[in-house]
Chain A
Amino acid sequence: MLSKIFASIAVAITGSILLYGVSDFPAFGDPNSPASAGVPGSESVSLYFIEESYKDTKVPNLVTSVLADYRGYDTMFETVVIFAAGMAIFAILRVVGNDGEEKRATSLEDSFTNGDHSRIIVGTTVRIVVPVIQLFALYVIAHGHHSPGGGFQGGVILGASFIIIALSENLNAALRRLSEQNYVRLAAIGILIYAAFGVMAQILGKNFLDYGVLEPLLFTDGPEMARSHSMLGVEVGVAFTVTAIMFAIYANLSSRGQLEKGL
Chain B
Amino acid sequence: MVDQIPALLVLAPLFGALLVALVGQRDHRVCFPIAIASLSVTLIGAIAAAQHVFANGPMNYFVGGWEKPLGIGIHLRIDALNALLLIAIATVAVLVTFFSIRRVGEKNAEKTHYFYVLFLLLCLGLFGITIAGDAFNLFVLIEVSSLTSYGLIAMGSSRRGTYAAFNYVLMGTVGASFYLLGVGYLYLTTGSLNMQDIHSILGTNPEIASSKAVTIAFIFILVGIWIKMAFFPLYGWLPNAYSYCPSSTACLLAPLMTKVSVYVMIRVMVSVFGLEWVFVSLGWSHLVVWLAVIAILSGSVLALAQREIKKMLCYLIVAEVGYMVGGAWLADEGLWGMTGALYHILADAAMTLCLFLAAGIFVKRHGAREISDLEGMFKKSPWVMAAFIVGALAMIGVPPTCGFFSKFYLIRGGIDAGHWEYVAALLISSLVNAVLFFRIIEIAFFGNKPAEGHDHSHDDHEEATEIAAPHSAPPVWSGNLPLFASAIIIVLLGVFNGQVVALIRTFLEDLPAVAAHF
Cβ of B215 and Cβ of A21 under 8 Å apart?
Answer: yes
**Residue B424 is within 8 A (CB to CB) of chain A in the complex:** no
CB distance from B17 to the nearest CB of A (A): 8
Which B residues lie within 8 Å of A202 (CB)? Answer: 4, 7
Known: A21-B215, A40-B204. A84 touches B147 (CB 8 A): yes
Which B residues lie within 8 Å of A23 (CB)? Answer: 212
- Using C-beta atoms within 8 Å of the partner chain, give the interface range for chain B: 35 or more
CB distance from A110 to the nearest CB of B (A): 27
Cβ of B188 and Cβ of A34 under 8 Å apart?
Answer: yes
Q: Which of A87, A94, A96 touches B121 (beta carbons < 8 Å)?
A: A87
**Residue B63 is within 8 A (CB to CB) of chain A in the complex:** yes
* C-alpha spacing A77/B162, complex, angstroms: 26
* C-alpha spacing A81/B187, complex, angstroms: 23
Which B residues lie within 8 Å of A71 (CB)? Answer: 73-74, 136
**Residue B155 is within 8 A (CB to CB) of chain A in the complex:** yes
Q: Chain B 261-286, CB within 8 Å of chain A: the 1/0 string?
A: 00000000000000000000000000
**Residue B197 is within 8 A (CB to CB) of chain A in the complex:** yes
Can you list 21 A-B contacts with CB-CB less than 8 angstroms, sorted by A residue number?
A20-B216, A26-B188, A34-B188, A36-B191, A39-B208, A40-B204, A45-B71, A45-B72, A70-B72, A73-B73, A77-B128, A77-B144, A80-B144, A85-B147, A87-B21, A87-B118, A88-B150, A94-B110, A94-B114, A198-B11, A208-B63
Which A residues lie within 8 Å of B193 (CB)? Answer: 45
Known: A17-B216, A40-B205, A80-B14. A188 touches B21 (CB 8 A): yes
Choose among A36, A40, A73, A192 the residue with the greatest number of B CB atoms under 10 Å from its CB: A73
CB distance from B16 to the nearest CB of A (A): 11
* C-alpha spacing A198/B15, complex, angstroms: 12
Which B residues lie within 8 Å of A49 (CB)? Answer: 72
Q: Chain A 53-77, CB within 8 Å of chain B: the 1/0 string?
A: 0000000000000000111111001
Nearest-neighbor residue (CB-CB) of B212 within chain A: A24
- Binding stretch for chain B, among A135-143, A159-167, A209-217: A209-217
Known: A91-B115, A91-B118. A48 touches B216 (CB 8 A): no
* C-alpha spacing A24/B216, complex, angstroms: 10
* C-alpha spacing A207/B70, complex, angstroms: 16
Q: What are the nearest 10 A-B pairs in CB distance?
A: A88-B151, A34-B191, A21-B216, A91-B114, A208-B7, A188-B21, A24-B213, A210-B65, A73-B63, A43-B69
Nearest-neighbor residue (CB-CB) of B69 within chain A: A43
Nearest-neighbor residue (CB-CB) of B217 within chain A: A21
Nearest-neighbor residue (CB-CB) of B204 within chain A: A41
Which B residues lie within 8 Å of A44 (CB)? Answer: 191
* C-alpha spacing A96/B18, complex, angstroms: 22
Cβ of B189 and Cβ of A81 under 8 Å apart?
Answer: no
Known: A34-B190, A41-B201, A188-B22. A70 touches B121 (CB 8 A): no
* C-alpha spacing A121/B69, complex, angstroms: 58
Which A residues lie within 8 Å of B128 (CB)? Answer: 77
* C-alpha spacing A211/B220, complex, angstroms: 36
* C-alpha spacing A212/B73, complex, angstroms: 14
Q: Chain A 12-35, CB within 8 Å of chain B: the 1/0 string?
A: 000001101111111000000111
**Residue B426 is within 8 A (CB to CB) of chain A in the complex:** no
* C-alpha spacing A48/B14, complex, angstroms: 31
* Contact residues of B: prevailing secondary structure: helix
Nearest-neighbor residue (CB-CB) of B154 within chain A: A92
* C-alpha spacing A91/B111, complex, angstroms: 6
CB distance from B273 to the nearest CB of A (A): 15
**Residue A199 is within 8 A (CB to CB) of chain B in the complex:** yes
Interface residues of B in 196-228 (CB under 8 A from A): 197, 200-201, 204-205, 208, 211-217, 219-220
Cβ of B151 and Cβ of A87 under 8 Å apart?
Answer: yes
* C-alpha spacing A181/B24, complex, angstroms: 11
Which B residues lie within 8 Å of A74 (CB)? Answer: 74, 134, 136-137, 140
CB distance from A38 to the nearest CB of B (A): 6
- Tell me the total A-B contact number using a CB cutoff of 8 A: 194
* C-alpha spacing A33/B188, complex, angstroms: 8
CB distance from A206 to the nearest CB of B (A): 6
Known: A42-B200, A88-B150. A48 touches B72 (CB 8 A): yes
Q: Which of A48, A73, A96, A206 touches B110 (beta carbons < 8 Å)?
A: A96
Which B residues lie within 8 Å of A26 (CB)? Answer: 188-189
CB distance from A247 to the nearest CB of B (A): 16
**Residue B450 is within 8 A (CB to CB) of chain A in the complex:** no
**Residue B117 is within 8 A (CB to CB) of chain A in the complex:** yes
Q: Chain B 57-75, CB within 8 Å of chain A: the 1/0 string?
A: 0000111111001111110
Nearest-neighbor residue (CB-CB) of A209 within chain B: B64
Q: Chain B 118-144, CB within 8 Å of chain A: the 1/0 string?
A: 100100100010000010110011011
CB distance from B57 to the nearest CB of A (A): 19
Cβ of B64 and Cβ of A84 under 8 Å apart?
Answer: no
**Residue B25 is within 8 A (CB to CB) of chain A in the complex:** yes
* C-alpha spacing A90/B116, complex, angstroms: 13
Which B residues lie within 8 Å of A212 (CB)? Answer: 65
* C-alpha spacing A74/B22, complex, angstroms: 23
CB distance from B55 to the nearest CB of A (A): 21
**Residue B192 is within 8 A (CB to CB) of chain A in the complex:** yes
Q: Chain B 441-459, CB within 8 Å of chain A: the 1/0 string?
A: 0000000000000000000
Cβ of A41 and Cβ of B205 under 8 Å apart?
Answer: yes
* C-alpha spacing A192/B414, complex, angstroms: 50
Nearest-neighbor residue (CB-CB) of B203 within chain A: A41
Known: A73-B63, A77-B141, A84-B121. A185 touches B147 (CB 8 A): no
**Residue A171 is within 8 A (CB to CB) of chain B in the complex:** no
* C-alpha spacing A70/B140, complex, angstroms: 15
**Residue A178 is within 8 A (CB to CB) of chain B in the complex:** no
CB distance from A8 to the nearest CB of B (A): 15
Cβ of A42 and Cβ of B192 under 8 Å apart?
Answer: yes
Cβ of A70 and Cβ of B192 under 8 Å apart?
Answer: no
* C-alpha spacing A87/B118, complex, angstroms: 7
Cβ of A81 and Cβ of B21 under 8 Å apart?
Answer: no
**Residue A189 is within 8 A (CB to CB) of chain B in the complex:** yes
CB distance from A62 to the nearest CB of B (A): 12
Which A residues lie within 8 Å of B115 (CB)? Answer: 91
